[in-house]
Amino acid sequence: MESRQVNEARILAEYTRRTPGSAALFEKAKRVTPGGVMAGIKFFRPHPVFMRRAAGSRIWDVDGNEYIDYLMSYGALMLGHGQEAVRKASESVFHEIGTTVTGTPTEMEVEFGGIIRDLYNESGLVRFTNSGLEATLLAVRLARAHTGKRCVAKFEGHYHGANDQLLVSYMPPVASAGKSESPTPVSDSLDVDDSRLSDSLVLPFNDWESTEKLVRSNSKRLAGVIMEPFEEGVIPGDRKFMRNLRSLTSDLGIPLIYDEVKTGFRVRVGGASEYYSITPDITCLGKIIGGGLPIGAVVGGDEIMEPLDPAGDRASSVFHSGTFNGNPLVMSTGRATVEVLMRDGNFDKVVATTETLKKGISSALSGQQVRSCVIGEGAMFSPFISVDTVRNYRDAEKSDVRFRRNLDLALISRGVYLKPTNRYCLSLAHSKEDIKQTLESFVEALGVACSLLPS
């Protein structure tokens, strides 16, 4: 039996051999930006793939390698690359408005805002931002303004963007994260200091008894509870857990915030809220609603949103602004995306394609006797290796991430792209042929990676 290291080295060598252009660009990039990437998430070892162009479900790198793309820009593209309606929508902005931004209100933001509001909180209001991060930032500010309190409860392992109030216990080393039933807040970033940590309460996802105890005993200081209703977009909250949390926060008057930046328009058209039939007090959106351009949105009940009214009395207002909020180009591509998804059963088509791939990957793994669970809802999923179930961060930490990373690198070398260890995100552009080809590559990559599993 060859050693783990020898096989890892082989997968790495294969990857490096196929991507010399990316390796060279990465060296150049490191002299331009810290670590060679403009966003931390884009980095992986030994170097990221630098992509040059894309069409539909396909993407090509600077070395001319072609891939079936399952990153779909971290789930932001639900129709695939360069989709016709989205392309026309962006071009129409130049034809009809003649500019990309007016700095004034436009009819487009009102129309598109109305569509989003009706889907996520019919009786509420919406405010657009330029990123998911800005949406979670605003959500926390609104919750604090509404309650007059500062402490924010979040769940261990849940991500809410590069937001210093919420970069707490996203990826804590388990050894220093305290007991699973009462996790210690751990800073995820050098700038997140004790003042941030003391304003944080960390909750254990899918552990109702402990969550209830923590929320009740901190209720007097809680401004809000924020969560990814599917941790990392794929680990569902148990239905009972979600219902209990909704009732408890309602009873205690604590705003419940769903961060649906990943799950919005991907788990269901109406996001995880539709899946659970639960309306939170505030919803954060992003990714898909921009149609491939930068966006975020906050949707909330009017009592919570009203302080954003700039005509209001200064003493009872929440200041919020943004030069590019509601940008016509983004409104146009976002609306085109949402409209395509909502017609002709298109959303269900993406889900059906996703199910085929998910099942295929699941049976390929069990066919090779790789213990795993492949989970996710709607149009995204993720395989976790060497575990039977994953219900929260600590379960996910027990999975074999090293194996998964190597498997994904081997897949890249076989024309299937996703950022190693990330989730699979599908789009309307993925065809049956794509799925067939992906599964063939998957079986091959698995054959190479399997030798890495402890025998």
Active site residues: 159, 259, 287
Residues 248-287 that bind ligand PMP (CB under 6 A): 259, 261-262, 286
Q: Which residue number, 133 or 269, has a Cβ lying nearer to ligand PMP?
A: 133
Alpha helices per DSSP H over 121-191: 132-147
CA dihedral 21, 23, 29, 31 (to 10 degrees): -120
Nearer to ligand PMP, 131 or 427 (CB): 131
Residue (of 51, 79, 81) closest to 66 by Cα position:
51
Task: CB nearer to ligand PMP: give 18 or 42.
Answer: 42
* DSSP secondary structure code for residue 150 in this structure: -
Q: Which region, judged by CB under 6 A, interacts with ligand PMP, from 44-52, 119-127, 153-161, 445-453?
A: 153-161
Give the shortest CB-160-to-ligand PMP separation in angstroms: 5
Q: Which parts of 119-148 interact with ligand PMP (CB under 6 A)?
A: 131-133, 136
Closest to ligand PMP by CB, 133 or 365: 133
Nearer to ligand PMP, 108 or 133 (CB): 133
Q: How far is the CB of 271 from ligand PMP (least distance, A)?
A: 11
d(CA 265, CA 306): 26
Cα 148 from Cα 153, distance rounded (Å) = 15
Sheet (strand 51-55) strand order = 51-55, 58-61, 66-69, 416-417
Tokens of 384: 């976790």
Beta strands 416-417 and 66-69, pairing class? parallel
Tell me the site size for ligand PMP, rule CB under 6 A: 14
Task: Give the x-and-dash track for 199-228 against ligand PMP (CB under 6 A).
Answer: -----------------------------x
Cα 287 from Cα 297, distance rounded (Å): 10
Place of tokens 């150049």: 28
Question: Closest approach of Cβ 235 to ligand PMP, in Å?
Answer: 12
Interacting span for ligand PMP (CB under 6 A) from 139-147, 155-163, 246-254, 387-395: 155-163
From 158-166, 217-225, 298-306, 374-382, give the range in contact with ligand PMP by CB under 6 A.
158-166
Quote the least distance from Cβ 75 to ligand PMP, whole Å.
8
Q: Give CA–CA dist 432/357, Å, rounded.
A: 9
Whichever of 70 and 403 has its CB closer to ligand PMP, that residue is 70
Shortest distance, position 208 Cβ to ligand PMP, whole Å: 22
Tokens representing 444 are: 């091959």
Q: Position 78: which residue type?
A: M
CA angle 228, 230, 231 (to 5 degrees): 70
Whether cis (ω within 30° of 0) applies to the bond prior to 46 is yes
Burial 72-96 (b: 16+ CB within 10 A, else e): bebbbbbbbbebebbeebbeebeee
Nearer to ligand PMP, 74 or 442 (CB): 74
**Among the residue ranges 13-21, 65-73, 157-165, 329-337, the one whose residues contact ligand PMP (CB under 6 A):** 157-165
Binding mask 49-78 for ligand PMP (x = CB under 6 A): -------------------------x----
Shortest separation between residue 277's beta carbon and ligand PMP, angstroms: 20
Burial of 183 (0-12, 13-18, 19+ CB in 10 A): buried
**DSSP tag of 282:** E
368, 447 Cβ separation under 8 angstroms = yes
Dist. CA 127–CA 117, nearest whole Å: 9
Min dist CB 311 to ligand PMP, Å, is: 29
- 387 DSSP 8-state letter: -
Phi, psi (deg, nearest 5) at residue 323? -50, -40
- Could you give the count of Cα atoms lying within 13 Å of 147 in the half-sphere of its Cβ? 24
165 binds ligand PMP (CB under 6 A): no
**Nearest residue to ligand PMP on Cβ basis:** 132
Choose, by CB under 6 A, the member of 48, 113, 161, 360 that binds ligand PMP. 161
Query: Whole-angstrom Cα distance, residue 424 to residue 380?
Result: 5
Q: How far is the CB of 134 from ligand PMP (least distance, A)?
A: 7
Quick one: 131 or 200, whose CB is closer to ligand PMP? 131
Chain residues 292-331 in contact with ligand PMP, contact rule CB under 6 A? 296
Residue whose pair of structure tokens reads 């402890």 in the numeric block: 454
In the list 15, 70, 128, 159, the residue contacting ligand PMP (rule: CB under 6 A) is 159
Q: Residues in the site for ligand PMP, rule: CB under 6 A?
A: 74, 131-133, 136, 159-161, 228, 259, 261-262, 286, 296
